[in-house]
């Protein structure tokens, strides 16, 4: 049993930390507050090859192991979680295209996606369907060599930059059960009728856009059906969400770690009654509790990632990591704010941003209540075990 990173993983982590410390931390507060899009940071991530995390080397990607994949989202989220969102949806979509796409789709799309010449996301959530994906109402009707797509999607990350955008649709709205009539279409940017209608205002998760999109009689070529076979969309999406949950769990870990780091540093500098506040037992208890939650989160995240690397299905493991780490992120952000006192409520301090970014982690890629049902089903069916 080895809980240590390999030398290669450590070198990769150190490269990421150097990039975050030089390119993200110095501008995160100002750019987040102004709503400025992080164009220069995106270019830096292209240079590091980070848009090819889940793209095999044969298509020009990094093809990293899942522990290294988690390290990317942990380290970037320590600097600015919104930046990690730009990579998150892109990496999930690339994984789906590589796993389920036709040879033609992979050869045509993956090299450009790996280099960042193209970017992508994923269109799942609708105004009336989030957790219940089988309840989506977006439809695609085959007419000749094209699908005619109508519907809307919301909370779509990278919507203004995605080319193509994988969109979950119903190719057979009458199918029972509904998932047998669901497919994923790769919708090219600029297709007539495909409109990004607005950016949604958000409490946190700034830096990347979250948009509403509409599809009105959008003509999508038949060859853009992911995998080339109808009715497999739900399976394709659910497999991708396992990867997505490791991503969100790692982002949560990054927020928790950053919250702890900020509290520890502040407690050493801030004095009260003639001594640093970290000498007071009340503050020590908060710091110790944060450290416990951070390290427990890290072990769960790396465990889930390592199980994925071993070729196992990880819906239970990823669900555990995502649930625990996201709740730890919220608790650590609040505790760090308490250690900072009044300054923790100020936008001049990083902890205020961490406090706003943390709640999304318990919602994104499946709410934590849903994660608990996924975990319970795995355990009661015998497909998942602990101990």
Residue 215 belongs to what H/E stretch?
strand 210-221
Residues 108-126, mean pLDDT to the nearest whole number? 97
Name residue, tokens 């003639």: 274
**Is the full-model pTM beyond 0.75?**
yes
Query: What confidence score (pLDDT) does residue 130 get?
Result: 85
pLDDT at position 100 over 80: yes
In the chain, count H helices and then E strands. Answer: 11, 8
The DSSP string of 327-387 is HHHHHHHHHHHHHHGGGGGSTTSHHHHHHHHGGGGGTTTS-HHHHHHHHHHHHHHTS----
pLDDT band at 136 (very low <50, low <70, confident <90, very high): very high
Query: What confidence score (pLDDT) does residue 260 get?
Result: 98
Spell out the domains of the chain, with CATH numbers in brackets. Answer: 7-115 (1.10.540.10), 133-230 (2.40.110.10), 235-381 (1.20.140.10)
pLDDT per position as a tens digit, 258-294: 999 999 999 999 999 999 999 999 999 999 999 999 9
Query: What confidence score (pLDDT) does residue 101 get?
Result: 98
Show contacts of 39-43: CB within 8 Å, 24+ apart: 41/83, 42/86, 42/116
Task: Enter the tokens of residue 149.
Answer: 């797509």
Task: Enter the tokens of residue 187.
Answer: 């919708």
Catalytic residue numbers? Answer: 365
% of the chain beyond a pLDDT of 70: 100
pLDDT per position as a tens digit, 138-190: 999 999 999 999 999 999 999 999 999 999 999 999 999 999 999 999 999 99
Query: What confidence score (pLDDT) does residue 3 get?
Result: 84
pLDDT per position as a tens digit, 64-97: 999 999 999 999 999 999 999 999 999 999 999 9
CA angle 153, 162, 350 (to 5 degrees): 85
pLDDT at position 1 over 80: no
């Amino acid at each position: 049993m080895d809980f240590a990173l390999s030398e290669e993983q450590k070198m990769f982590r150190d490269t990421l930390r150097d990039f975050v410390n030089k390119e993200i931390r110095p501008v995160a507060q100002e750019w987040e507050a102004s709503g400025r899009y992080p164009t220069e940071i995106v270019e830096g991530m292209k240079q590091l090859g980070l848009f090819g995390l889940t793209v095999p080397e044969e298509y020009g990607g990094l093809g990293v192991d899942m522990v290294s994949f988690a390290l990317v989202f942990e380290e970037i989220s320590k600097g600015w979680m919104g930046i990690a969102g730009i990579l998150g949806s892109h990496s999930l979509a690339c994984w789906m295209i590589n796993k389920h796409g036709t040879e033609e789709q992979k050869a045509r799309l993956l090299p450009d996606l790996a280099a960042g010449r193209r970017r992508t996301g994923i269109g799942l959530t609708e105004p009336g369907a989030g957790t219940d994906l089988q309840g989506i109402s977006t439809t695609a009707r085959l007419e000749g060599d094209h699908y005619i797509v109508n519907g809307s999607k919301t909370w779509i990350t990278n919507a203004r930059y995605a080319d193509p955008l994988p969109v979950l649709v119903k190719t057979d709205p009458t199918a029972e059960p509904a998932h047998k009539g669901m497919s994923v279409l790769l919708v090219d940017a600029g297709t007539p009728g495909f409109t990004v209608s607005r950016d949604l205002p958000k409490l946190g998760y700034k830096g990347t856009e979250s948009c509403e999109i509409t599809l009105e009689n959008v003509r999508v070529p038949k060859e853009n059906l992911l995998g080339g076979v109808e009715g497999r969309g739900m399976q394709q999406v659910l497999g991708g969400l396992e990867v997505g949950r490791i991503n969100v769990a790692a982002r949560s870990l990054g927020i928790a770690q950053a919250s702890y780091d900020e509290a520890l540093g502040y407690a050493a500098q801030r004095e009260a009654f003639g001594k640093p506040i970290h000498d007071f037992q009340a503050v020590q208890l908060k710091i110790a509790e944060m450290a416990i939650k951070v390290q427990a989160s890290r072990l769960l995240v790396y465990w889930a990632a390592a199980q994925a690397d071993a070729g196992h299905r990880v819906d239970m493991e990823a669900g555990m990591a995502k649930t625990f780490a996201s709740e730890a992120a919220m608790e650590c952000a609040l505790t760090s704010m308490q250690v900072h006192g009044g300054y923790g409520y100020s936008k001049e301090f990083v902890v205020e941003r961490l406090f706003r970014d943390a709640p999304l982690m318990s919602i994104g890629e499946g709410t934590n209540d849903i994660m608990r049902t996924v975990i319970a089903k795995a355990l009661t069916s015998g497909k998942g075990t602990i101990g």
